[in-house]
Amino acid sequence: MLKKIAVLPGDGIGKEVTKGAVEILEAVAERYGHSFQFEYGKIGGIAIDETGSPLPDETLEICKKSDAVLLGAVGGPKWDQNPPQLRPETGLLKIRKELNLYANLRPITYYSSLSEASPLRKEIIEEVDFIIVRELTGGLYFGKPSQRTVHHGKEAVVDTLFYQRDEIKRIVELAFQLARSRRQKVTSVDKANVLESSRLWREVANEVAKDYPDVELEHMLVDNAAMQLIRNPKQFDVVVTENMFGDILSDEASVLTGSLGMLPSASLSETGLNLYEPIHGSAPDIAGMNYANPLATILSAAAMLRLSFGLEEEAEAIEKAVKEVLDLGFRTRDISSQGSKVISTSEMVAEVKAAILDQEAISNIMGAYA
Ligand code: IPM
Ligand code: MG
């Protein structure tokens, strides 16, 4: 199989983790006889510095000519004081909008070998397996107006939470379809006791549910959902929610798996040109130090193989390799606990690659870990 993949490393650890994921994709290509062509584009702070735009047209063109997009992370203190149009995050929001990536899937998978890395007790997190379906191109992130203003002569500010019925419908439908291939349960998260947008969300969810009598629908208020995620995360199968709630709840849910550095994501469009990225940010404090956990990006690459290319066996090979390496006790710093073998980003990539190719990695052979 020949596929073109656009790679947008972005800022901070984005460069290190995408480099790792590309190596893993190359290992998969080698083992299974595929050919992946990588074309690199700029996004975020580095794009601002080099082109004056957080998402240059050239980058969008590269994406549109590709079969899938792999993204690292954007942002950093250097650009934090910039006006909105010159912020790295604006590039990320723009690519989501331009490619119409309306559905962001964030699976929360439990790794038994990582139970020590989670702040929660083992009996709460073991066997946790759910997926957050986050609406990605609407809501507070994109509503207009969004600006500073003056109200009765005093400084004021406004952000807008805007949704069209159809936007709610398509994301909720996707959640129901997913639930059919899982445990047939959808939890729709909203704030319908306060927000009108949530009341329409709930109404639409109820309507969609009629077409899926085999799937159970439950509504949950977002504040309660935040608590239930910690109290009893096993109750969830598919969680569907609007953009900002999904952003917040998915960071919270990441601690169930041990670290933000473990969580992959897939952003799906109606056209089939999808984008894959870790849910973590650019972590400027550890950028360039070879400390970052590349597994979220590597697992995002696995999601690409499965969802964009239909390469299920190859996707599973990556996921299995990640599990094996964790079972062997290898850890990046973010997931380390007492007695674990702490290795660098590149060593972690080498371990996963070795597991895919059924070889022993250099760091394994030499015991080269601190
Ligand atoms: C995420 C990130 C982004 C978001 C930021 C970097 C704009 O937190 O993908 O979850 O809020 O969507
Ligand atoms: Mg986030």
**Distance in angstroms (rounded) separating the CA atoms of residues 133 and 261:** 19
> Which has the closest alpha carbon to 238: 230, 224, 249?
249
Sign (positive/negative) of CA torsion 129, 315, 262, 221? negative
Q: Please give the number of the atom of ligand 1 that sits closest to the Cα of 265.
A: 9
3-state SS track over 100-136: CCCEEEEEEECCHHHHHHCCCCHHHHCCCEEEEEEEC
Tokens describing residue 174: 């996707």
pTM of the model: 0.94
Taking residue 35's Cβ as centre, other Cβ atoms within 10 Å add up to: 11
> Which has the closest alpha carbon to 21: 338, 307, 242, 299?
299
Alpha helices in 190-344 (DSSP H): 196-209, 222-231, 243-254, 295-307, 312-327
**Distance in angstroms (rounded) separating the CA atoms of residues 297 and 304:** 10
From the CB of 54, is ligand 1 less than 6 Å away? no
Q: Considering only CA atoms, which residue is closest to atom 6 of ligand 1?
A: 89
What is the greatest pairwise CA distance in the chain?
70
- Tell me 271's DSSP state: S
- Whether residue 271 contacts residue 322, with contact meaning beta carbons closer than 8 Å, is answered with no
**What distance, in Å, lies between the first and last C-alpha atoms of the chain?**
40
Site to probe by mutation for ligand 1, drawn from 17, 82, 90, 92 as the one with most ligand atoms within 8 Å of Cβ, is 92
Full pLDDT tens readout for the chain, 370 residues: 999 999 999 999 999 999 999 999 999 999 999 999 999 999 999 999 999 999 999 999 999 999 999 999 999 999 999 999 999 999 999 999 999 999 999 999 999 999 888 889 999 999 999 999 999 999 999 999 999 999 999 999 999 999 999 999 999 999 999 999 999 999 999 999 999 999 999 999 999 999 999 999 999 999 999 999 999 999 999 999 999 999 999 999 998 988 899 999 999 999 999 999 999 999 999 999 999 999 999 999 999 999 999 999 999 999 999 999 999 999 999 999 888 899 999 999 999 999 999 876 655 555 544 3
From the CB of 281, is ligand 1 less than 6 Å away? yes
Pairing of strands 154-160, 266-268: unpaired
- Whether residue 274 contacts residue 68, with contact meaning beta carbons closer than 8 Å, is answered with yes
Domains recognised in the chain with CATH numbers: 1-106+258-370 (3.40.718.10), 119-256 (3.40.718.10)
Q: Please give the number of the atom of ligand 1 that sits closest to the Cα of 243.
A: 12
Catalytic residue list contains 334: no
Identify the pLDDT of residue 338: 84
From the CB of 279, is ligand 1 less than 6 Å away? yes
- Tell me 287's DSSP state: T
Identify the pLDDT of residue 216: 98
From the CB of 89, is ligand 1 less than 6 Å away? yes
Give the closest ligand to the alpha carbon of residue 243: 1
Catalytic residue list contains 247: yes
Site to probe by mutation for ligand 1, drawn from 242, 247, 282 as the one with most ligand atoms within 8 Å of Cβ, is 247
